[in-house]
């Protein structure tokens, strides 16, 4: 019997607050980074995020992570955690419009899912009360991306699932 596992993403409000602060600081351009954390089966626990660096490229409608500082931060967390903390996905902001992903966003998530050989999450902060999360599974022939809904808004953490 096949059962569909529903992924759950947990993110501390402190990480959301840091992302929100970066969004406000970088307006009217986009900003972003990678989401770091632990995989627990099909559940993902975000523990931190990288932030925009000097060599990244940001415009009002795009953000490209080009600075090697992202890779150094990821490797540092991976080593410090004895390989428990890794890249779970990426985050970026939309200064204008909605928190819906563009075709370019979805393509970037598919590329990242292929690179890490795991499902990844994408967070978009468009200035709405809560950021939006998307989950991308890379399969052999087709990728699927779907939006996650808020399932819990505790004081310290937010939880999202399908």
H-run or E-run covering 132:
strand 132-138
Tally the C-alpha atoms within 13 A of residue 108's C-alpha that lie toward its C-beta: 21
* b/e sequence 105-132, b meaning 16+ C-beta within 10 Å: beebbbebbeeeebbbbbbbbbbeeebb
Per-residue DSSP letter, 144:
E
DSSP tag of 6: P
Task: Provide the 3-class DSSP secondary structure of residue 103.
Answer: helix
75 is catalytic: no
Of 30, 51, 77, 138, the catalytic one is 30
> Which positions are annotated as active-site residues?
30
């Amino acid at each position: 019997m096949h059962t569909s596992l529903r992924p759950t993403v947990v993110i501390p409000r402190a990480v959301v607050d840091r992302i929100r602060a970066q969004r406000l600081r970088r307006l009217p351009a986009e900003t972003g980074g990678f989401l770091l954390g632990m995989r627990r089966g099909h559940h993902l626990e975000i523990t931190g995020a990288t932030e925009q660096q000097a060599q990244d490229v940001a415009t009002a409608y795009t953000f490209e992570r080009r600075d090697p500082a992202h890779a150094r931060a990821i490797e540092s967390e991976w080593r410090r955690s004895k390989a428990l903390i890794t890249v779970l996905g990426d985050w970026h902001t939309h200064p204008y419009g909605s928190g819906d992903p563009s075709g370019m966003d979805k393509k970037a998530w598919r590329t990242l899912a292929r690179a890490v050989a795991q499902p990844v999450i994408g967070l978009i902060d468009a200035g709405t009360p809560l950021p939006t999360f998307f989950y991308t599974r890379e399969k052999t022939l087709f990728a699927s991306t779907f939006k996650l809904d808020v399932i819990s808004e505790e004081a310290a953490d937010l939880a999202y699932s399908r």
